[in-house]
Structure 1
């Protein structure tokens, strides 16, 4: 009888579990060379960073090339505009819904009421100056394309890639040679992604082991209500909101979607980076969900930059948590301001670990809550960051599936296989 191969999903899940247990065991070791130098900052750091840097090495060329192909292959600028408007409306709507759900849960469960502030180890945080929305919008256009790519400015890369793709499309036959070159370049990058994915279980083990070996579980105890509420909100978004959208707009099986998309969710959980998960999401969308490259290569990179459902949920709960911890009454106008600010703040926030804290500082400033409150939750933010990033990338794939179905750009045989 032929031995059944273990799939990537299973390997990553096993690595995640083993890394978690290993990390907690190492956390309980006495401080010293073995724990701090050899394991945490040696082996775990090396395995995690080699994998993470391998992915990040491919993100900028992958986003640029896939978006150029996506825009060029649509052939019709009207179609690009139609898909683009659907995508942005979907992303902004689900982000707003996510914040509203989180605020309702925060008001109902009151995570910050009765908190022993002395039990929490606060962390000093440096808050960047708030950038006006107008500046965010005009800075989407790069004044130096090479500089944008060197610094990994995703919004600027996306704008230039779409501009290039539209130009190729308008060139028609004259641009066929260049369009063919971009297709071959895309094939090469996806092959490199496949190679990096082989190391995913090892990288996931290193990243998770280092996280829990550093934080342990004791840091969680005084903030358990806050962390638990964030994960409850994320679960509601993943099942109720996405499930309803899948049923109403696509009439597809959410269970089947999650079964196939779960490897990307596990990578997002371990890396806490939407940007690092782009290669995995694109690969799964095309090969397992049956989504046309033209659609996924447009919506997935864009979503990793502007769609932050999970992060938005954390912001709503964190804002109420901080207000309640400091005994500040949260009024309805303040909550509406949080919904608007967090939705707009999601545009242009980098898909990297810890970016949610920058967004949260903007939200707190908008309603006059003390920025010192950030220090209460930053110590365990990595644990929350992993969960919210998983929902961020899941929202991108849900949107991509629905839009692909509406544009007849989805192979249902592949999805249902």
Structure 2
């Protein structure tokens, strides 16, 4: 009898501990849960190595669910964000600032990438014969400049929505939002439809993101399991230089913007930006991270909803600070490998080119690799190395996506300050620009 009581009490104690742990887990914020999943994924990948690829479908399902919500979220949020601003002149002013911030920061990021690559010289003395090219790599057809520009505008918005062409969806949403604004009170029914549609997408986003700790853990486990520490081989210096460039953009440019333009507390910024970073690192998708980006910008940074819904979806498609750092560094990397001296004017041309093509790359499958080929071909540089970079591209793309999205948020905070569009602001602020 005593033995039965002992086992019963022990079982009850275990159940009690499990319930306490479950309650503790539920009390954790989503960002903390995702970070735990991120760390667990890394540990599992290091322990089980390639065997962990058995759980790859779990991560793929999570990515598929995110892709499922991206198109309607962008469509509803941009359209409602535009007519929620109301004043056409204010909309024009915010739109101009958004484009200026995105273009200027992209140019500066490209310059920083060039400088870092010139300082650390990742391609000097590299023996590329020891590097294995990715067997999955295939060069895609490179679009011309006119094709890229023409491809931005939708001839059939329904087709753009069906195929997930984000740039075309954004253009159509901009036109629709402006049209609804100009109609005024006659469009109250449409406004209600889009506002309710936006709320429904936010709710769906919350449901999908509830699975993010598991999805992130699976994605990171498979990434680490597949690559392990072998990435720090012959291409290790390029990977290191790429990340030094990304970190330099944060330190040199973003911190300046936060402190002197956005006048936003750095501690508050870094306290919440980690929630976004763990998702960008695992999904390597600016658009896929958009639900989290909007949520953090609205709820943690207190930016007004209509501004966040306008600037962030546009930034997720055209503001590619991280990608431009990579493009610039990759060109210098290849030129150093083959002993090609690039003049200052040629390097400046690289910065301009990478800024222009960064808008076109999201709509192209494997955009980063295809754009690298386009750059090297235009500059007359050998492109054999691209197949090798493709083998480790996911590792560096984790950093590119993280910087891309961080740039979207920082620019939005700057615009929010200049337009007095923080929820907690009670007094008008001086305009910054």
- Per the normalisation by structure 2, the TM-score is 0.89
Report the 3-state secondary structure (helix = DSSP H, G, I; strand = E; otherwise coil) of the residue aligned with 2:83.
helix
Pair 1:214–1:3, CA change in 2 (3 A):
closer
Is 1:186 the equivalent of 2:226? Answer: no
**Residue aligning to 1:132:** 144
Matches of 2:388 and 2:343, distance apart in 1? 22
**Residue aligning to 2:283:** 271
Residue pair 2:82, 2:91 contacting (<8 A) in 1 also: yes
Is 1:16 the equivalent of 2:38? Answer: yes
Pair 1:322–1:226, CA change in 2 (3 A):
same
Residue pair 2:42, 2:224 contacting (<8 A) in 1 also: yes
Residue pair 2:276, 2:289 contacting (<8 A) in 1 also: yes
Residue pair 1:295, 1:404 contacting (<8 A) in 2 also: yes
Matches of 2:374 and 2:267, distance apart in 1? 36
Residue ranges of structure 1 left out of the alignment (5+ in a row): 30-34
Matches of 2:179 and 2:29, distance apart in 1? 41
**Residue aligning to 1:240:** 252
Is 1:195 the equivalent of 2:195? Answer: no
**Residue aligning to 1:120:** 131
Pair 1:158–1:191, CA change in 2 (3 A):
same
Report deviation, 1:240: 2.2
Report deviation, 1:374: 0.6
Matches of 2:186 and 2:423, distance apart in 1? 30
Residue pair 2:41, 2:216 contacting (<8 A) in 1 also: yes
2:184 to 172, 188, 191: 172
Report the 3-state secondary structure (helix = DSSP H, G, I; strand = E; otherwise coil) of the residue aligned with 2:359.
coil
**Residue aligning to 2:47:** 25
Residue pair 2:327, 2:354 contacting (<8 A) in 1 also: yes
Report deviation, 1:413: 6.5
1:129-168 superposed Cα distances (whole Å, 9 cap, x missing partner): 3323333223322111111011111111001111111111
CA RMSD of aligned residues (A): 1.9
Report deviation, 1:309: 0.5
Pair 1:353–1:393, CA change in 2 (3 A):
farther
Q: How does 1:12-411 map to 2 (within 5 A)?
A: 12-27=34-49, 35=51, 39-40=52-53, 42-43=54-55, 45-123=56-134, 125-350=137-362, 354-411=366-423
Between 161-170 and 370-379, the greater mean CA deviation after superposition: 370-379
Aligned residues: 403
Residue pair 1:345, 1:362 contacting (<8 A) in 2 also: no
Report deviation, 1:3: 5.9
Report deviation, 1:412: 3.9
Pair 1:352–1:142, CA change in 2 (3 A):
closer
Report deviation, 1:7: 2.1
Residue ranges of structure 2 left out of the alignment (5+ in a row): 1-19, 427-433
Give 1 or 2 for the bigger CA radius of gyration.
Answer: 2
1:4-48 superposed Cα distances (whole Å, 9 cap, x missing partner): 932222222221122112112222x6xxxxx2xxx41x32x1221
Report the 3-state secondary structure (helix = DSSP H, G, I; strand = E; otherwise coil) of the residue aligned with 1:222.
coil
Residue pair 1:51, 1:199 contacting (<8 A) in 2 also: yes
